[in-house]
A and B are shown apart, each in its own frame.
Chain A
Amino acid sequence: MTERDRNWLTLFATGLILLIVYPFFADGYQLTVIRDALIFGLFAASLDFFWGRTGILCFGHAAFFGLGGYVMALITLNGSVPLAGLVGLLGAIAAAALLAAVIGYFLFFGGIRGSYFTIVTLATGVICQQAAISWSSVTGGDSGLIGIPPLEIDFAGIRIDLGQDLASYVFISIIVAIVVLLLWQLSRGRWGKVLTAIQDNEVRAAALGHNASLRLLLTFVVSAAIAGLAGALYVCMAGLIAPDLSGLLLSTEVTVWVAVGGRGTLLGPVVGALVIQRAQQEISSFNPSLWPLILGLLFIVIVFALPDGVLSIFSRLKAIFRKTEPAR
């Protein structure tokens, strides 16, 4: 285990302790705020797993989040589906994965990487939002779908009813922790190293026998599937879904969360999501149209001042201290 891994686990454990302690100090409403923010944190981690490990930015990631949300909403609102909660979750994951598989197959095996990929995914996001608005007989159009019941899973003797604030907070915390831990394991292990190799020099990786296009495709599908899961979880916590949740602004926001939190760290994006959403609530209550302006400025600040995210301030400070230490 490297020093980097130890640092990561320490941060992870700290975060976990904070999540466990928080309910003792917070009321039900505050718990639901953190719970919803955590779901977006999971969404950010899903984007980071792809962007951070492959260096390719998906700029329409909200399409997968929104698709997962709509699938969940449609299945649970249908009323005739048995085990609707569980089927909805699985359906949401499958739908997002399938969409990513179709897009990814054509692009990755067509040799598309880098900016081209970013643009096509951007367009996908635009189109998904339009589809959500105009296909109103299914999606409810601009106003979306409401009245989605809280998650209730009753399967093989396990019964989870998430109508309660505390229960849903605990459930979401556990899911986010597990998924982030799994993604981290994937990233630091064989999977992640091969991806780093592909990012460094794809031709070389292929000449060693690695199927780079397939590896990128699978990573994209996993990333999209988790985004779909996050979307599905969100709608049954919030009880509603609207076209915004598949739209460009959310895609933009998740990109900022990851970039500010630190690309490739998985934990940073979760923290980034929590912190920036808090800031957004403050600013939006002041003037709603100010937020996109500040988002835009944030992008520019990141690019010119903090290309490795806010957490990189600490490693930079560390480097400065090391330099000032007397030579051994």
Chain B
Amino acid sequence: MEFAAVTTLNALTLISILLLVGLGLAISFGLMNVTNLAHGEFVTIGAFTVYFVQSLGGSFWFGLLAAPVVGGLVGMVLEYAVIRHLYSRPMSTILATWGISLVLQQSLELAFGLGAKPVSPPVEGTVDLIVAVYPAYRLILIGIAAATLTAVILLVNRTSFGLDIRTVIQNREMAEGVGINTRRSYAIAFAFGAAIAGLAGGLVAPLAIVLPQMGVNYLANAFFVVIVGGAGSIAGLLAGSVFVGGLTSILNYQISPSLAQALVLLAAIIVVRLRPNGLLGGAFR
């Protein structure tokens, strides 16, 4: 019983992170058709922001607030300086964003030096959940992720900005026809995805090994989430996160993490073969 509960909670922690990282990719890759290989660096930047704030004596919570702001700003600059010039050149986008990812990684390394950066959680200790004892911070993480996702759903479905974004994504020409500034909507959507990934980085910082190169693992996993779930809907994102996060957590108990990763990759590839539009693909396009 306890084992099952802990596994479930571990899976939920991973799923929460994947959801937040995957959200930005679902926007850029799934909806805008932009393959941003620098997406993982938004996570890294979020984590480094929390580390930097803490190292100056600031509180974790202030760092966590700053993380999405910094991530979003970097995303905005990236969109403005590079990505917007390459919307019709997918191969160039891949190469350019990969280059940017390397530049960001090395810049962080030059600025902060080699080695893992320590980030301490805002609350220590555990919570007794009757069926299991679980670290308090992980429960907070799951709660913040759930709240963020809810806020995003409300934003997209209930506000006029959300309506604009949905219109632009469904039919760019028509959106232009009715007077929506599509260029601006794309830029905002992109920066928004980057901000959420930055938040994810801040959240995961106390649990992860904070390194300039940490982003690529999140990048790969988040792409699996989007590919498996089927790009283009929050439900697909959820399905993908549950699939990748759940499978990874379960396998991690049985076998070594890298073998677990390989098996998740294999499973993702097989899902793609059987359902080329993702688990929930087709229904939302």
Instruction: Tell me if B220 counts as interface (CB < 8 A to partner A).
Output: yes
Give Cα A122 to B223, complex, Å.
10
Contact of A303 among B96, B101, B216, B261 (CB under 8 A): B96
The answer to whether A296 touches B265 (Cβ under 8 A) is no
Q: A115-B35, A259-B95 are in contact. Are A110 and B273 (CB under 8 A)?
A: yes
With A112-B272, A289-B106, A293-B106: A127-B258 Cβ-Cβ less than 8 Å: yes
Known contacts A119-B35, A303-B86; A296 and B269 CB within 8 A of each other: no
B37 neighbours in A (Cβ, 8 Å): 122
Known: A106-B269, A289-B106. A131 touches B98 (CB 8 A): no
Interface string of B181-221 (1 = CB under 8 A from A): 00000000000000000000000000000000000110110
B217 touches A126 (CB 8 A): yes
A114 at the interface (CB under 8 A from B): yes
Q: Assess A57 versus B272: contact at CB under 8 Å? Given A123-B223, A292-B102, A300-B99.
A: no
Task: Decide yes or no whether A255 CB sits under 8 A from chain B.
Answer: yes
**Residues in B neighbouring A107, C-beta threshold 8 A:** 269, 272-273
**A283 at the binding interface (Cβ < 8 Å):** no
Interface residues on B, range: 35 or more
Q: How far apart are the CA atoms of A103 and B273 in the complex, in Å?
A: 10
Q: Is the CB of A112 within 8 A of B103?
A: no
Chain A residues within an 8 Å CB radius of B110: 289, 293
A296 with B258: in contact, given A116-B227, A119-B223, A126-B216 (CB under 8 Å)?
A: no
Chain A, Cβ-Cβ closest to B97: A299
Structural contact, B256 and A134, CB atoms closer than 8 A: yes
A residues within 8 Å of B by Cβ? 55, 57, 59, 103, 106-107, 109-112, 114-116, 118-120, 122-124, 126-127, 130-131, 133-135, 248, 252, 255, 259, 289-290, 292-293, 295-300, 302-304, 307
- State the B residues within 8 Å of A (CB): 29, 33, 35, 37, 82, 85-86, 90-92, 94-96, 98-103, 105-107, 109-110, 114, 216-217, 219-220, 223-224, 227, 256-259, 261-262, 265, 268-270, 272-274, 276
Q: List 25 A-B contacts (CB under 8 A).
A: A110-B269, A112-B272, A114-B90, A115-B90, A115-B94, A116-B227, A123-B265, A126-B217, A127-B258, A127-B265, A130-B257, A131-B259, A135-B259, A259-B95, A292-B105, A293-B107, A295-B102, A296-B98, A296-B99, A296-B105, A299-B95, A300-B99, A303-B92, A304-B96, A307-B92
